[in-house]
Amino acid sequence: MPIALKEWAVTVRALAEGEQLLTFRVDERKHFELEHDRFFLYPTFDHQRNDVVREAHLPELRRALEEGVWPDGDPPTHALTREGGIPQPERVRVRAWAQVAAHYTVTDPRIVHDLSPFYVWTTDYAQKRLNWRPRHPLHVVLLRAYRIPRPVTVRVRGGYSGSRTWLEIARDLPFEGTPVLSDDEFGRVQEEIEAIVSGRVPAFA
């Protein structure tokens, strides 16, 4: 069965639109391992909060609601105002997959700050991700996303909930489609990200 990375719907939408290129992971019960080098992007609304997305990217949050298929046809009316997550829909739309382009470990909060052009979250939230496990590095994964020809609707199963990174999708999905960024565009931003992570670009004072 196809493997999917479980991420907030707003992050998945931003990855699929080229507004975000990174995902962050922290060590939880055990050391985080990047078990797969390509996978589908599964949008979840569990624990998604509307106060951790930068104001300039709030349209991404609104569009992210389109990733859900709701019982009454429309998202819950409180979806954009409630502090915290919203109920999970009956089905979600999978519209993209990603290839791992690079994997870094970061401990310097200045680097997390300087990477902010490549994610839609607030820098305060990104810093909190770094501080969740102070003795462990933050895993920064650079993804190259591809839009599949047609979004595929997937039923939300009970086993998909909880703090899980990887899911097995119970239907066929195609590893095909168009890259969100061209080769030249992606190569350029990858160089910028690697320069920040390696310290070749000065972090803020």
Q: What are phi and psi of 60, to 5 degrees?
A: -65, -40
* Tokens read off for 194: 């690697």
Read out DSSP for 8-26? EHHHHHHHHHTS--EEEEE
Highest mean pLDDT among 121-135, 172-186, 190-204: 172-186
Cα–Cα distance for residue pair 144/101, rounded to 1 Å: 6
Cα–Cα distance for residue pair 15/139, rounded to 1 Å: 17
Q: Which domains does the chain have, with CATH numbers?
A: 3-198 (2.30.130.30)
- Report the predicted TM-score, pTM, of the whole model to 2 decimal places: 0.87
pLDDT at residue 85 in the model: 57
Report pLDDT digits (tens) over 116-171. 999 999 888 888 877 777 677 889 999 999 999 988 888 887 666 666 788 888 88
pLDDT at 205 over 50: no
Cα–Cα distance for residue pair 133/27, rounded to 1 Å: 7
